[in-house]
Structure 1
């Protein structure tokens, strides 16, 4: 085994035994409790209801599209984004791919789609079927959960088509890189402001800050008003409540290295529960650890269609948790911009 690959510290049989003794925790929490990756937990059940499948995005997604109405789940360490819908239309690509449906809207980065599994579990409600994809570190990139309305025969066909020859119940992973943290160059603040003001599309942003040897949070800290204003950490919760109460449609982006999942449209029911703030709508759920939010920024990017205004939350390591934009399809920006103007500002700007 290559020196940079790390095997799970527990045998598959031991993992299955521990899981049988403690079935209630969510998979991610159970894996963390026992010092294993979530991929190692899932792999331990290969041959016990779980099948390894090819995780190649261009092969996988056309077949996911045959499953009909399912639940798409993308998460990072602080936020879970769940959206019902179907995975059509799909647009493939070696470096980036997309699903651009009215309900399921995703951006996928295939290099991080490494370990694929089809999972079948028994429950009091019947068989639970899912597709689960993990990156090289064993972290979940994306999951597809079938519902009673889904096409379960198509799931069986998918598994038969994408089943790989090697059905190992162990998975070797590579260590995660340490979080980068905010990266900024205050000496180039004037260059940043000048180029920021000349943007015509939000997709130009990351290329801009990388060229100036910064990252998203570092650039926010340096660029200053009117492009980035620091908000209180409660501003995300306030924005969700205000969007629901005012019936202001939004776009909510949650992602990880391999996948970004987007909700576009109204939200209705915002429910706090302990440290979590939740959106609990029939077709969309969001679960956000509000206590993980260390910085929030109100960010304005010029585009050809007018300013794109977002609320962006970061954790203590400088990692992006969630972004909220105004919904721009068939609606104007005025309601969202009026909403963001009411969000609580920090009295003193954070500086790099």
Structure 2
């Protein structure tokens, strides 16, 4: 997929509109965010090895930074230090106390180290994109971060070739709800037999369902539709009642997780935001088309989640109760009390 603008044109257009968010600016110009970043290679931006096995041992040296993972409808920002990296060809992990991530390396295609001029001096970041040019994950340095470690990372991971334009592939369409009505009995039987939530995707894939298709077909007591504003209710209740959460936001290449309390929930137009000192969440509530209460059996008791999907059937975010130290009793009680949309169940 050839770019519609030359790098020179992209930089000129950006200079005329410097304040728009990068993602919004790229959309306005009909380019991808990766095209925008690549246009600055040689102008403060360096193309680097995007492989998690190359990146994460060095990212850990940066100290306290901000990790950002997003999809079209939700942004998850977490301050912390990247610790406890676990490699994996299909799935890799960072298991730090603050930055907790699952990465799928096949989607980590293009990596960049970016140095931009900011109001308070240089702004440094690491940005990774998939083959279609969509952002997979970003690391933003903060005043407390180690600039020397950033420079060392760039020197170590700089690629021999430094192109200022990319060859991208078309974005894969979102898979809508999928399921086989003839296999609903099998779905229910295997769902009931689960002992760990990680078994869910394997069993649905084997039975030719996806997440939303399975939610729609499995029935009570495993999944039930709730109001579209349930996510907003959940966030306000968690802040007000001090209910600790596990908040999962991701895209095809990365899932980022917040574990613990949230404090400050702020609606702003269509957005519902969590604005805490070390965790921010920005959710486009108007993008939510369906919300489901989902119960999965595990060896430690039922894992109960609230899951939001967009109009295409894509998963926006999931929230579970935080259960590291104790069963999430307050969470379970609140979610079980959410009224079910009986008309949709019928």
Pairwise same-fold verdict (TM > 0.5): yes
Aligned residue number for residue 232 of structure 1: 227
Verify: 1:16 aligned to 2:8, yes or no: no
The within-5 A match list for 1:31-180 is 31-180=26-175
Verify: 1:187 aligned to 2:187, yes or no: no
**1:144 offset after TM fit, Å?**
0.1
Q: Is the 8 A contact 1:83 1:284 kept in 2?
A: yes
The equivalent position to 2:241 in structure 1, one of 240, 243, 246, is 246
Q: What's the RMSD between the two structures over aligned residues?
A: 0.9
Q: Secondary structure at the match of 2:131?
A: coil
More deviation, 262-271/185-194? 185-194
The number of residue pairs the alignment matches comes to: 346
Measured in 2, the distance between the counterparts of 1:80 and 1:343 equals 25
Measured in 1, the distance between the counterparts of 2:330 and 2:130 equals 39
Aligned residue number for residue 334 of structure 1: 329
Q: Secondary structure at the match of 1:311?
A: strand
Aligned residue number for residue 310 of structure 2: 315
Structure 1 segments of 4+ aligned residues over 3 angstroms from their partners: none
Aligned residue number for residue 272 of structure 1: 267
**1:34 offset after TM fit, Å?**
0.7
**1:95 offset after TM fit, Å?**
1.5
Aligned residue number for residue 281 of structure 1: 276
**1:190 offset after TM fit, Å?**
1.2
**1:350 offset after TM fit, Å?**
4.8
TM normalised by structure 1 equals 0.97
**1:349 offset after TM fit, Å?**
2.8
Residues 31-62 of structure 1: CA deviation (Å, up to 9, x unaligned):
11111011000000001110000011101100
Structure 1: runs of 5+ lacking an equivalent: 1-5
Measured in 2, the distance between the counterparts of 1:155 and 1:149 equals 12
Measured in 2, the distance between the counterparts of 1:259 and 1:341 equals 29
Q: Is the 8 A contact 1:243 1:339 kept in 2?
A: no
Measured in 1, the distance between the counterparts of 2:251 and 2:174 equals 13
**1:96 offset after TM fit, Å?**
1.1
Q: Is the 8 A contact 1:108 1:258 kept in 2?
A: yes
Residues 201-227 of structure 1: CA deviation (Å, up to 9, x unaligned):
001001111111110000000001100
Q: Secondary structure at the match of 1:337?
A: helix
Aligned residue number for residue 208 of structure 2: 213
Measured in 2, the distance between the counterparts of 1:313 and 1:133 equals 25
Q: Secondary structure at the match of 1:107?
A: strand
Measured in 1, the distance between the counterparts of 2:285 and 2:23 equals 18
**1:312 offset after TM fit, Å?**
0.2
**1:135 offset after TM fit, Å?**
0.3
